């Protein structure tokens, strides 16, 4: 295939260090595979001395397959692998490690759960799976950066709780004779420092190292790679600092920014031609990412040339947003664009819940790259429904225990001796503590009030009349969250409950929703590869679609309300940039005037991308443009070159 001058320069590069800055859709896989072929062919390099490192097993396999196709059936013994696979291979030879000594992801979660159960805290953690995933990411970041645990301030919980979990987790690994993926990096680093003979052997084995997605590397991985590449330093790195979006896992784009300082003689090559997106998409995305300070400046161009301008539009609320998107998706499909070439992108996996319901109601085919959690599976929903069940007469021990201290009423678990709770006996148990008896009297009064209410009013009363929002605020402080994150879940639940007269009506609707979700999951398994793509911005990385919608582009959603520091805002901007550059031809960016009856400002990223200056004219032309669309491409979303 023909290559452009920058690609050719990268492919023909000889020995020493090189940094290839590969913008979105610029053909980086082509560069890597063609360079390997040239090293083996014209360069006469032993294939077994070439090491190609990626960040995921799937990416390594795909790269290997592309290379073998390029070699037309030949299978030279070039080594393709993830960082973890390469490091484990080194440890296996040094210490005779076996595969069953590596902690798999599912066992990691089990170990974290076990350790956390031993770290009793004043508040129970309700969102345990999400909490433990965040803790796991933080443990990886601490290990990947070699941070002293005593100097680390957790973002997920009080630092003393995190330190107890961190130490307990590592002790659990030690007792079981296991190591996790992060340990492999640290152990390789220590091994190479202590045993120069072993380091020398691996340096001789892998004389040429190529790394894909280099912007995602962490500090310890980089230090090991530098040791491995020395003294010849045939280190060929490919990546895009503007697409570094995994800081929460320890990735540091600054490493790529300082690469020329570490290797003053490195060749710097910019792949600046985007073969995926039309010029207006490239231009608006460029305006956005140009706002970041910590980056390499790049002037990117589109090989496809002119095309439709992105559509920027404000809608009143989520319902109006969903209705508009439904109409437009169907029009695109009538004009020949396959469903699988359309994508709806959101900041988090919780944002698309209302859209997923609408897609099911409209019976449109869709697939979810990320698990979209059911609102009704959230612990806040469980609390609200349990309150209403208790108000309706349930006296199950588990139900009462769940809600009795939300907000705090200082009722001890030990007070509940029997499976069925008698509130009069409970008051008798606390007869010497008048203030608790008064709280129980108030609790009974509140239950009588709830019994008369429709679900919407009941939730409102639980939150504001009974003080449940105070409990949410206290819980948010423990979890290092903003209370608004939890209030929004309660707002969404309250909105969903509107229109139902009784709890039984609402529960029947919830059961029907869960049934449809189960059916949809089964259909998705049977029809893999078809349907509108619903994904998070993170989940869309590396994919491309003819039509892309970025939805809920509001301040506090994107950038996320938890991101406040300058480096966090820059990461959020990179994430929005990644989402924009998934679009091949048609890009829509919508934001709502209000979210569950609360006013929300437009995201700063819309302004920075030039969205407000084009909003009025583009919104007017949007429907006309969609009606006139002719499908430019077909096929399913694929990994970028």
Q: Which residues have CB under 8 Å from 61's CB, separation 6+?
A: 80
CA 22-27-31 angle, to 5 degrees, is: 85
Name the phi and psi angles at 53, rounded to 5.
Answer: -110, 130
Chain center to CA of 632: 30
**Number of neighbours of residue 525 by Cβ within 10 angstroms:** 9
- Give how far the C-alpha of residue 83 lies from the chain's centroid of Cα atoms, to the nearest Å: 20
From 552, 27, 590, 598, select the one nearest 313 (Cα to Cα).
590
DSSP code of residue 316: S
Which distant-in-sequence residues (6+ apart) come within 8 Å of 537 by Cβ? 245, 345, 346, 347, 550, 558, 575, 576, 578, 579
Neighbours of 262 (CB within 10 A): 13
**How far apart (Å, rounded) are the C-alpha atoms in residues 2 and 27?**
11
610 is in an annotated binding site: no
Cα distances (Å, whole numbers) of residue 603 to 62, 554, 627: 36, 4, 28
Report residue 236 as tokens.
Answer: 């060929």
What does 250-306 look like in DSSP terms, one character per residue? T--THHHHTHHHH-TT-EEEEE-EESSS-HHHHHHHHHHHTT-SSS-----EESS--
Cβ–Cβ under 8 Å, residues 32 and 11: no
- Which candidate, 311, 325, 332, 380, places its Cα nearest to that of 356? 325
Quick one: tokens of 74? 């030949």
CB 241 within 8 A of CB 215: yes
| Length of the chain in terms of residues written | 641
Q: How far is CA 351 from CA 101, 343, 356, 371, 373, in A?
A: 38, 14, 10, 11, 10
> Annotated binding residue at 177?
no
Establish whether 530 is an annotated binding residue.
no
Helices assigned H by DSSP within 394-502: 397-403, 423-429, 434-451, 455-460, 468-478, 483-497
How far apart CA 404 and CA 412 sit, in angstroms, is 9
Is residue 33 annotated as involved in ligand binding? no
Residue 24 counted as an annotated binding residue: yes
With tokens 């169907």, the residue in question is 330
| Residue 26, annotated as binding a ligand | yes
Furthest CA-CA distance within the chain? 91
Instruction: Return all residues near 415 (Cβ < 8 A) that are at least 6 apart.
Output: 426, 429, 430
Is 22 annotated as belonging to a binding site? Answer: yes
Q: Which residues are annotated as a binding site for ATP?
A: 22-29
Residue ranges of the annotated binding site are 22-29
């Amino acid at each position: 295939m023909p290559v452009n001058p920058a690609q050719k320069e990268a492919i023909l590069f000889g020995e020493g260090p090189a940094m290839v800055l590969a913008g979105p859709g610029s053909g980086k896989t082509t560069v890597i595979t063609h360079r390997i072929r040239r090293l083996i062919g014209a360069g006469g390099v032993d294939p077994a001395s070439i090491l190609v490192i990626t960040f995921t097993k799937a990416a390594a396999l795909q790269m290997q397959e592309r290379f073998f196709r390029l070699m037309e059936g030949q299978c030279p013994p070039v080594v393709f692998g993830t960082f973890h696979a390469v490091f484990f291979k080194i440890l296996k030879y040094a210490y005779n490690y076996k595969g069953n000594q590596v902690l798999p992801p599912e066992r990691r979660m089990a170990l974290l759960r076990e350790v956390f159960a031993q770290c009793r805290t004043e508040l129970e953690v309700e969102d345990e799976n999400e909490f433990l995933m965040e803790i796991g990411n933080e443990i990886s970041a601490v290990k990947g950066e070699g941070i002293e645990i005593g100097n680390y301030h957790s973002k997920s919980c009080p630092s003393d709780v995190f330190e107890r979990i961190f130490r307990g987790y590592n002790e659990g690994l030690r007792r079981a004779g296991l190591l996790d993926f992060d340990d492999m990096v640290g152990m390789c680093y220590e091994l190479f420092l202590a045993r120069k003979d072993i380091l020398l052997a691996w340096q001789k084995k892998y004389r040429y190292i190529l790394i894909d997605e280099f912007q995602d590397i962490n500090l310890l991985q980089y230090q090991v790679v530098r040791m491995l590449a020395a003294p010849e330093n045939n280190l060929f790195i490919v990546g895009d600092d503007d697409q570094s979006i995994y800081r929460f896992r320890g990735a540091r784009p600054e490493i790529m920014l300082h690469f020329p300082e570490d290797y003053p003689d490195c060749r710097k090559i910019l792949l600046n031609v985007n073969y995926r997106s039309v010029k207006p998409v490239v231009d608006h995305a460029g305006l956005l990412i140009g706002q970041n300070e910590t980056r390499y400046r790049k002037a990117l161009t589109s090989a496809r040339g002119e095309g439709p301008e992105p559509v920027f539009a404000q809608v009143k609320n989520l319902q109006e947003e969903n209705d508009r998107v439904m109409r437009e998706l169907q029009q695109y499909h009538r004009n020949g664009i396959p469903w699988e070439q359309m994508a709806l992108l959101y900041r988090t996996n919780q944002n698309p819940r209302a859209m997923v319901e609408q897609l099911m109601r409209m019976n449109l085919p869709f697939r979810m790259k990320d698990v979209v959690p059911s609102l009704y599976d959230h612990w806040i929903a469980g609390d609200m429904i349990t309150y209403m069940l208790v108000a309706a007469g349930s006296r199950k021990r588990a139900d009462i225990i769940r809600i009795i201290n939300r907000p705090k009423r200082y009722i001890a678990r030990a007070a509940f001796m029997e499976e069925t709770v008698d509130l009069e006996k409970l008051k008798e148990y606390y007869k010497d503590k008048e203030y608790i008896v008064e709280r129980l009297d108030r609790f009974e009064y509140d239950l009588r009030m709830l019994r008369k209410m429709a679900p919407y009013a009941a939730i409102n009363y639980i939150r504001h009349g009974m003080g449940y929002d105070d409990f949410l605020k206290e819980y948010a402080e423990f979890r290092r969250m903003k209370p608004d994150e939890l209030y929004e879940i309660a707002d969404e639940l309250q909105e969903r409950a509107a229109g139902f007269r009784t709890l039984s009506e609402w529960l029947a609707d919830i059961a029907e929703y869960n049934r449809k979700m189960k059916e949809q999951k089964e259909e998705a398994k049977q029809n893999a590869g078809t349907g509108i793509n619903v994904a998070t911005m993170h989940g869309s990385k590396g994919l491309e679609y003819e039509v892309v919608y970025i939805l809920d582009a509001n301040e506090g959603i994107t950038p996320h309300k938890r991101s406040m520091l300058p480096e966090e805002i820059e990461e959020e901007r990179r994430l929005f940039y990644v989402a924009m550059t998934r679009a091949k031809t048609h890009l829509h960016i919508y934001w709502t005037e209000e979210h569950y009856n609360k006013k929300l400002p437009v995201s700063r990223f819309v302004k920075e991308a030039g969205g407000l200056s084009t909003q009025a004219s583009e919104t007017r032309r949007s429907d006309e443009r969609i009606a006139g669309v002719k499908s430019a491409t077909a096929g399913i979303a694929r990994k970028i070159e």
